[in-house]
Amino acid sequence: MSTRGKILSAVRANQPVLTSMPDIEPLKAYSNKETVLAQYTTVATNIGAKVYEVKSLDEVKTVIQSNFGTDKRIISTISELNDIADTKEYLSDLPVQLADVELAILQSDLAVAENGAIWITEDQMGQRVLPFITQHLAVIVNAKNIVATMHDAYSAIGISTQGFGAFIAGPSKTADIEQSLVIGAHGPRSMSLFLLNED
Amino acid sequence: MSTTSTKNHAELAGQFNADENRVDWHDETLWWIRQKRDKAVNQFPEWELLRETGSKIKEHTLSNLGNYLESFEANALANGVTVHWAADAKEHNEIVHSIIKKHGVNRMVKSKSMLTEECHLNEYLAENGIEVVDSDLGERIVQLAKEPPSHIVLPCIHKKKEEIGDLFHEHLGTPAGVSDPQILTETARQHLREVFLTRKVALTGVNFAVAETGEFVVCTNEGNADMGAHLSEVHIASMGIEKIIPKREHLGVFLRLLTRSATGQPITTYSSHYKKPRPGQEMHIVIVDNGRSVQLGRKDFRNSLKCIRCGACMNTCPVYRRSGGHSYHNAISGPIGSILAPNLDMEKYADLPFASTLCGSCSNVCPVKIDIHDQLYKWRQVIVKAGYTTKTKTVGMKMMQWTLSSPGMYHVAGKAGRIVMKYAPFAVNNALNPWYKQRDMPKPPAESFDEWYKKNRGKK
Amino acid sequence: MTVGLFIPCYVDQFYPGAAIATLQLLEKLGVTVVYPPKQTCCGQPMANSGYEHLTSGCNELFIDNFSDFDYIVSPSGSCILHIKDHLHSEKRENEAVQVRRKVYELTEFLTDILKVDHLDAVFPHKVGVHQSCHGQRGLKISQMTELVAAPFSKPEQLLNMVKGIELIPLSRQDECCGFGGTFCVAEEVVSVKMGVDRVSDHLEHGAEYITGADMSCLMHMEGILRRQGSHVKVIHIAEILNSSVQ
């Protein structure tokens, strides 16, 4: 018998009597939808992100231009930003060729208030490595797309056909050296979150 | 039976306690993390319901594990992932080696995987001429120090920044005496970035594997798993059979429980959901048993397989905090390690279930409600029945049983003990009495309660 | 209502004051208390060391001595928890089950069964309360800090009825003292370090007395205090609740 067969036989022989799968609906009752924008802003700031409430992409451009030099490599998946960023050429780069990206500006359609995260899928990343290899990350998300908890998030996401997706909560960090928090480990050194509130 | 090579928790803890200031530092750091956990979880009135739900999902999964493993495999295969099965550590290591060899390279970058620690993968690959660089900062530090990690989430919690500075000076060229965490982390960033950009093969662990979709999730704060995986041509993911969860929506439960329990953070910076390989990339999953199916068959101990490797039990354990992870001489230390390890080698790990006062704190911080302290008690019974105890202890216990089964004997013995303590204290207050090393013995009273009762209240 | 009084072996031998106080306190509260003279030990020291299979003698003795009472009360959380979890009898399992249902640690007996709301006790001192683990997490005598749940404490509820007493705060409310049964000698180094840290917490907050519901924890801390030459004393909670004007 193959290893696979042996393992599955052993598992089946040893597993206990079937118990029922619990319902996770009761957990959803605790979602507080009233305060999601305020909660999201507070939590995202606490985890090291810079949060900007903006009314338009023009505002986003202004902030970016004042914070990041124009001589650095800036990439975006958002075509409207093609005047401040490369929105095309990078797609034909090999992943390692993105090592010199200073800023990546991406779009997300889902944010989670309880932990300050955004959900972003492969098709929103341009290239998988981009949100990680860039020195700085900026994400634009519509304020209407903030949900309260992870249960709400997975309800919204459902089962997708995307090959890769990630919750990203703030800039990369580590506290491995004597529990001293350092922002900017291997991923981006900073994360700018633009909450688009067109109302 | 104490030779220099005999490793047991009590001896190793004794060594750890030689430097009391250091013990205090280690204890206070981990207690602080426990407090951060408390602060985070107390924001949620539904926390106990979350724990109960997580626990029940895991129990259900273990009761249907065979089917879930098959579903997971089928979905992963349909996603274009290659799935391997490894019965034990050796087979796991051989599979990983063969994948690396097939691609004609001799080096690999690895993000955190306690399973690969358990399998001693790095040593095996080194013996076979393959260089492995650990990319998690804490893991890289212990790798440079040639030590195993001491904590499953905080690998170098036992190391002071000056020691890390010295290591970096020796291996990464930082100036001598530099110990600022910002500078050291920046150094590691530059050093590991070069590794990420040049390694064709990357190995990651798996935090959760979803049967419904064939995807797996990897959680990091640093982004090192993703840097390795997305820049590589081959991504290998190693997982134990118990990492399976049934449905994607269950990730909501576990991702809410995991990091709050581990460090008090709401979630790790990155919770990456890997489903299909990048076009042109190969993705492999190695599903490992290594004793887990045996544990699954142990009625009293199978719930240890619910573990999501958060480390909360270690942070709260008053013994762990004062003895350090290395005193458990096992890849997984602390309370959870003490109930997993005897299944792998009962003789070697017979000491671990006794490295506890059974205070119960661990069971109550466990996000999936593993009855850790009850399992510690039960392992003690199994280990003694299996004979992994000393003759002295057994003789002592039998004498205790004999004395305590007879009221007459008990009173005679008690009185004798008190008389000795009163009139010949040196017989008890000496170096042979381990209690007496650092504590005074209780003062023997003039009469026992029984004697007082008989004198003052007469017969029943 | 007749209560069978169960006195832990080491309390009988080394701390009879705690047993006397327990007896007197229960009688003051109108309880008929009987002390079966043939009792010895609950068997916990053997069981926790992995030798539960040697405890049937203790179990049978316990059933012989205590099965006839309405309640069985003991000034020890760990002994009561052990009986509750592990009392078995090959020939009389039904009786064992009955016994397990009616064993109570002293403070929970006072709050839950007698529903004491007033005590004539006087103890004008600064007192630190040590939450012994088995009583707290096992018997739920007080809330543990690990859980997200409403706080409560049966020992403190009773202590707050004592005139003049001042309960001091602690940095770590419910950390284990390190006694742990045979752990106290098998892992002597860590056991003492845990005890030293626990004692320091009380000392730093100005305790004159350290009290609790388990004499074993207090015995361990007393050993350390006396080795340090400290004037701080340990005292079983029964003795505080039973105290009166000197």
The CATH number that applies at residue C182 is: 3.40.50
Domains and CATH numbers, chain A: 33-196 (3.40.50.10420)
Confidence at residue B1, expressed as pLDDT on a 0 to 100 scale: 36
Confidence at residue B3, expressed as pLDDT on a 0 to 100 scale: 38
Return d(Cα A128, Cα A165) in angstroms, integer.
Answer: 9
Please state the rounded mean pLDDT for residues B246-258. Answer: 98
CA distance A151 to chain B (A): 5
CA distance C182 to chain B (A): 9
Q: Which residues pair with B299 in a beta bridge?
A: none
Please state the rounded mean pLDDT for residues C48-72. Answer: 95
Confidence at residue A184, expressed as pLDDT on a 0 to 100 scale: 95
Confidence at residue A193, expressed as pLDDT on a 0 to 100 scale: 98
Closest CA in chain C for residue B435? C185
Do residues C211 and C182 share a domain? Answer: yes
Whether the Cβ atoms of residue B285 and residue B82 lie closer than 8 Å to each other? yes
Instruction: Output the CA–CA distances (angstroms, integers) from residue A111 to A188, B268, B348, in the order listed.
Output: 19, 15, 48
Residue C121, domain member (yes or no): no
pLDDT at B431 > cutoff 70: yes
- Check residues B398 and B244 and name the one with the higher pLDDT: B244
Which residue, C86, C69, C57, C55, is CA-closest to C6? C69
Return d(Cα C56, Cα C58) in angstroms, integer.
Answer: 5
Whether the Cβ atoms of residue C169 and residue C205 lie closer than 8 Å to each other? yes
Of B57, B223, B277, the CB nearest to A185: B223
CA distance B105 to chain A (A): 18
pLDDT at B207 > cutoff 90: yes
Do residues C108 and C186 share a domain? Answer: no
Contact of B384 with chain C, judged by CB distance below 8 Å, is answered with yes
Please state the rounded mean pLDDT for residues B232-260. Answer: 98
pLDDT at B4 > cutoff 50: no
How much of chain B exceeds pLDDT 70, in percent?
A: 98
Contact of B171 with chain C, judged by CB distance below 8 Å, is answered with no
Do residues C47 and C83 share a domain? Answer: yes
Q: Domain end: C56, C83, C113, which one?
A: C113
Structure tokens at B289: 């048993």
pLDDT at B5 > cutoff 80: no
C34: domain range? 2-113
What is the number of other CB atoms lying within 10 angstroms of the CB of residue C160?
11
Confidence at residue C145, expressed as pLDDT on a 0 to 100 scale: 98
Return d(Cα C144, Cα B220) in angstroms, integer.
Answer: 31
How does pLDDT run across B222-241, given as a tens digit for each residue?
999 999 999 999 999 999 99
CA distance C108 to chain B (A): 19
pLDDT at B57 > cutoff 50: yes
Confidence at residue C51, expressed as pLDDT on a 0 to 100 scale: 94
Confidence at residue A69, expressed as pLDDT on a 0 to 100 scale: 77
pLDDT at B2 > cutoff 60: no
- Check residues A16 and B418 and name the one with the higher pLDDT: A16
- Chain B interface test: which of A176, A189, A191 (most B C-beta within 10 Å): A176
Contact partners for chain B, using 3 or more CB pairs closer than 8 A, are: A, C
Q: Do A163 and B213 touch (CB under 8 A)?
A: no
Confidence at residue B6, expressed as pLDDT on a 0 to 100 scale: 63
Do residues C20 and C70 share a domain? Answer: yes
- Cβ neighbourhood burial of A12 (10 Å; 0-12, 13-18, 19+): middle
Average pLDDT taken over every residue of chain C: 96
Q: Domain end: C66, C88, C113, which one?
A: C113
CA distance B161 to chain A (A): 6
Do residues C134 and C219 share a domain? Answer: yes
pLDDT at B405 > cutoff 60: yes
Residue C119, domain member (yes or no): no
Structure tokens at A194: 């633009």
Contact partners for chain C, using 3 or more CB pairs closer than 8 A, are: B
Interface of B with C in 296-355 (CB under 8 A): 316, 318-319, 322-323, 354-355
Q: Domain end: C79, C113, C147, which one?
A: C113
Which residue, C239, C240, C243, C238, is CA-closest to C106? C238
What is the number of other CB atoms lying within 10 angstroms of the CB of residue A74?
24
pLDDT at B460 > cutoff 50: no
Ramachandran category for residue A180: left, alpha or beta (phi over 0 → left; psi -120 to 50 → alpha): beta
Whether the Cβ atoms of residue B208 and residue B306 lie closer than 8 Å to each other? no
C71-74 and C103-105 beta bridge pairing: parallel
Structure tokens at A133: 């290899």
Average pLDDT taken over every residue of chain B: 95
How does pLDDT run across A109-168, given as a tens digit for each residue?
999 999 999 999 999 999 999 999 999 999 999 999 999 999 999 999 999 889 999 999
Do residues C149 and C53 share a domain? Answer: no
Query: How many separate domains does chain C show?
Result: 2
Residue C120, domain member (yes or no): no
Confidence at residue B404, expressed as pLDDT on a 0 to 100 scale: 82
Residue C118, domain member (yes or no): no
Run of H or E residues at B63: helix B47-63
Of C47, C149, C185, the CB nearest to B434: C185
Q: Which of B311-315, B397-401, C67-71, C179-183 has the lowest mean pLDDT?
A: B397-401
pLDDT at B417 > cutoff 90: no
How does pLDDT run across B322-358, given as a tens digit for each residue?
999 999 999 999 999 999 999 999 999 999 999 999 9
Q: Do B358 and C13 touch (CB under 8 A)?
A: no
Please state the rounded mean pLDDT for residues C194-217. Answer: 98
- Check residues B2 and B392 and name the one with the higher pLDDT: B392
- Check residues B421 and A186 and name the one with the higher pLDDT: A186
Domains and CATH numbers, chain B: 9-34+310-385 (no CATH), 44-290 (3.40.50.10420), 391-457 (no CATH)
